[in-house]
Amino acid sequence: MKDEIDNRDERVANLKGLGCSRKRVEDARFTQGKGNYVDDIKLDGMLFGDFVRSPYAHARIKSIDTAAAMEVPGVLAVLTAADLEPLGLHWMPTLAGDKQMVLADGKVLFQGQEVAFVVAEDRFAAADGIELVEVEYEELPVIVDPFESLKSDVVLREDLDPKAPGAHGPRKHPNHIFTWEAGDKAPTEEVIANAEVVATESMYYHRTHPCPLETCGCVASMDKVNGKLTLWGTFQAPHAIRTVVSLISGIEEHNIRVISPDIGGGFGNKVGAYPGYVCSVVASIVTGKPVKWIEDRMDNLMTTAFARDYHMTGKISATKEGKITALHCHVTADHGGFDACADPTKFPAGFMNICTGSYDIPTAYLEVDGVYTNKAPGGVSYRCSFRVTEAVYFIERMIEVLAIELNMDAAELRRINFIKKEQFPYKAALGWEYDSGDYHTAWDKALKAVDYDGLRAEQAQRVADFKAGKTRKLMGIGLSFFTEIVGAGPVKNCDILGLGMFDSCEIRIHPTGSAIARLGTISQGQGHATTFAQILASEIGLPADSITIEEGDTDTAPYGLGTYGSRSTPVAGAATAMAGRKIRAKAQMIAAYLLEVHDNDVEFDVDRFVVKGAPERFKTMKEIAFAAYNQAIPGLEPGLEAVSYYDPPNMTYPFGAYVCVMDIDVDTGVPDIRRFYALDDCGTRINPMIIEGQIHGGLTEALAVALGQEIAYDDMGNVKTGTLMDFFLPTAWEVPNYETDFTVTPSPHHPIGAKGVGESPHVGGVPCFSNAVQDAFRPFGNRHTNMPHDHWRIWRTANELGLHD
């Protein structure tokens, strides 16, 4: 086979490898209606299951009468906890070491809780059946405030021994879940007590929800003849789901096949296991037919995996010149009725202990108390890495409050305190070792790009004009500098339900020089099929267009822990590069044999092995692939395949510098985002176009959370924002034109130097939007107001500051 391309630059371009803005290969099917989502799966004789849900947030169940529902034509079964109990399936373990009712067992603990599962021939008959299930409730006192919960005589979890410790140690109260600490308490308190300047602030990071466009769902199909269960579902971690299903059902793991087909967004919502999965499996076993369960929008918003709900109190101390000396943080974490947070086992508050942020803070202490309330369970990392969003919001607000206390410019305060380039790898006071960073360069670039000094001068003029009655619009300059922590493992630190957080890639090169690679992760829109092929193209010298990427089928993909927390690139991306290197090592031996030289006498060059010093003598990877299958090479097995299970030595620490310029109409509370500049550093950039798309998406979700998106409850535990009429999802109307920029500081331990990026814009974006609102009111005495900054709350802030007088 003669290689046709001799020009090296052309050969590099032909690969479409690292750094190429390759168009997304997935989009052909997504844009032409050929995606295959869970609800597209239709099997012969398939039934539909749906839930009777509790209208009450806290109530005892006196009785459930299913007789009338069973009379509805098409209804085949109604499952209750009593049916699941003999199977031991009326409760299920949560990812956080707690347990959760699959169907209400004696009482309900949140509005929308699953009470009974109606199985029918179609979803309409199931809906009719649901209407006729008679449930007699006795209302109980409702607690929606975690502080009240810790004082209350009302015991929410009657199933737990009130005095017994929980999964994370001793409990202080029957409604208390855990206390988790990091850092040094006494030294931190001492530094703060003796500090020249101390700023104290309390803030609430409100409850919200990932709200992917596709809701959660599954199809369970039990083949009783062969003893095989196939489960299609919206799973962000298909292998973990297979293991969990095996552990709770007793079906051996090799008899379970879990398939995540196309997924319409996850953002953390599809990590955990939901009662719908268990009930569908049971219903399929009972009826012998496939059973589908698909949530509607209200089910999704009201009952699956919430995010945030952290009440945070901080103290930050500094010298008069602005050098930070200590940080103290206490969190009261509202976990709802069951502790179903999706965090690595050793971190019940996720990675909240990254809350010292991008700053060199010598002493710090964090304490988190988890609390039960009458709200839905969950606690997932909504487009972030296990509570890093809360941590970054906390520190970026504390910096702003400290700047007010010091009467100092907040950009300058950040600059004074950044971890310096030469301090990396940097061991933070709360335990993490940051791998690499160059914060000053990024910050200077960002401030220059937006003409920060010019903006401040304009703002000062605006304040003067406002006071002179010449305008009713204020101007806010939102700043944020964030450090993310993404790529969980390493296995020694991070596991979920005892499963170490490595990831995997298996590659098969076909004789004609094309390939398939299978990974333990699963794309939910991030473009893995495009970008992982690019990593391989650069590693093995075959064009990305000749490489198929497959994820999400546990019968074919190697075991992996899935996609969330921007871990795909740091962990599975690394596995992909390492598996590619194994392929290359074998290819080198084949090339040397074909060229009749020693292994060390050939070197890799883009898409071929070349004899050192004799560039005209080479074998292309295509030729080598063919030889692997048709030549008997002494000492080598035929074929060209490799697998890598990658346990990362550390997480990666992407960072970024964001600036938001906002005008606020004091009389209507309406913000107008005039400019948003986002500089991201995610190390080596695999596909700049996809990175840009990720940043646009993350910023838009950040805008949503900062400016209106909320899961709100009334005192009775009713969800006030259970539809998209009330739950804010931004559209093109609200979204500004984002300006993106970058620096490149590779990760020193990742095989290609890449860090994650998918969630960074969300993590950095929320404080940036919020700081812009707060900054507009700073000249008028504002210190802190809680998100979400919807029009009403912004108006109220203006009103409280006397700006309507």
Residues in touch with ligand CDP (CB under 6 A): 526-528, 531, 563, 566-569, 682-687, 690-691, 694, 754-758
Other residues' Cβ atoms within 10 Å of the Cβ of residue 148: 13
Q: Could you tell me the smallest distance in angstroms from the CB atom of residue 758 to ligand CDP?
A: 3
Name the catalytic one among 384, 505, 682, 768: 384
Could you identify the residue written with the tokens 């999965």? Answer: 277
* 274: phi then psi, degrees, rounded to nearest 5: -115, 155
717 versus 758: smaller Cβ distance to ligand CDP = 758
Nearer to ligand CDP, 284 or 684 (CB): 684
Residue 558 or residue 683: which is nearer to ligand CDP going by CB? 683
Residue 643's DSSP bridge partners are 506
Q: How far is the CB of 684 from ligand CDP (least distance, A)?
A: 6
Nearer to ligand CDP, 429 or 690 (CB): 690
CB of 424 to ligand CDP, least distance (A): 18
Minimal distance, residue 502 CB to ligand CDP, in Å: 14
- E-only strand ranges, 143-216: 176-183, 197-208
Distance CA 634, CA 487 (A): 40
Rounded to a whole number of angstroms, the distance between the first and last alpha carbons of the chain is 83
Nearer residue to ligand CDP within complex by CB, 315 or 755: 755
Nearest distance from C-beta of residue 564 to ligand CDP, angstroms = 7
CB of 303 to ligand CDP, least distance (A): 24
What is the C-alpha R_g of the chain? 28
Catalytic residue among 701, 709, 759, 768: 759
In Å, how far are 241, 710, 781 from 114, measured between CA atoms?
A: 20, 22, 47
Alpha carbons 198 and 416: distance in angstroms, whole number: 17
CB 686 within 8 A of CB 577: no
Instruction: Confirm whether 367 is a catalytic residue.
Output: no
Q: Is residue 390 among the annotated active site residues?
A: no
Does an H or E element contain 642, and which? strand 641-646
Rounded Cα distance, 639 and 659, in Å: 53
Q: Which of 236, 524, 588, 774 is catalytic?
A: 236
Q: Which is nearer to ligand CDP, 588 or 684 (CB)?
A: 684
CB 565 within 8 A of CB 762: no
What is the CB neighbour count within 10 angstroms for residue 604?
A: 18
Considering beta carbons, is residue 527 or 560 the nearer one to ligand CDP?
527
Q: Which residue has the tokens 């855990």?
A: 178
Angle between helix 388-406 and helix 760-777 axes, rounded to 10 deg? 30
Instruction: Answer yes or no: are the C-beta atoms of 300 and 276 closer than 8 Å.
Output: no
Where in 488-640 does DSSP place strands (E)?
495-496, 499-500, 503-509, 515-519, 547-551, 602-605, 608-611, 614-620
Half-sphere exposure of 25 (CA within 13 A, CB side): 17
Asked if 759 is an active-site residue, the reply is yes
Put residue 454 in one of left, alpha, beta given phi > 0 → left and psi -120 to 50 → alpha. Answer: alpha
Residue from 53, 257, 308, 383 carrying the catalytic annotation: 383
Tokens coding 176: 């208390």
| Three-state DSSP class for residue 624 | helix
The nearer residue to ligand CDP, 544 or 757, going by C-beta atoms, is 757
Comparing CB distances to ligand CDP, the nearer of 5 and 25 is: 25
- In whole angstroms, the minimum distance from the beta carbon of 249 to ligand CDP comes to 28
Reduced 3-state DSSP string for 571-599: HHHHHHHHHHHHHHHHHHHHHHHHHCCCH
Helix (H) or strand (E) holding 15: helix 8-15
Question: What backbone torsions phi and psi does residue 166 show, to the nearest 5 degrees?
Answer: -95, -165
How far apart are CB 523 and ligand CDP at their closest, in Å?
Answer: 7
Nearer residue to ligand CDP within complex by CB, 691 or 763:
691
| Residue 576, SS3 per DSSP | helix
Please calculate the CA angle 590-507-578 and round it to the nearest 5 degrees. Answer: 80
Q: Which is nearer to ligand CDP, 528 or 608 (CB)?
A: 528
426 strand-pairing partners: 434
Task: Tally helices (H) and strands (E) across the chain.
Answer: 20, 32
Query: What's the min distance (Å) between Cβ of 650 and ligand CDP?
Result: 16
Q: How far apart are CA 193 and CA 196, in angstroms?
A: 9
Q: In angstroms, give the least distance from the CB of 418 to ligand CDP.
A: 22
Cα–Cα distance for residue pair 425/585, rounded to 1 Å = 31
Contact predicate 100/376, CB 8 Å: no
Question: Is 113 known to be catalytic?
Answer: no
CB of 728 to ligand CDP, least distance (A): 23
146 or 525: CB nearest ligand CDP: 525
- Does residue 271 contact residue 237 with C-beta atoms inside 8 Å? yes
Residue 334 CB, nearest approach to ligand CDP (Å):
26
If you ran DSSP here, which 8-state letter would residue 431 be given? Answer: S
What does the block give as tokens for 93?
A: 């373990």
Q: Hey, which residues are catalytic here?
A: 236, 383-384, 759
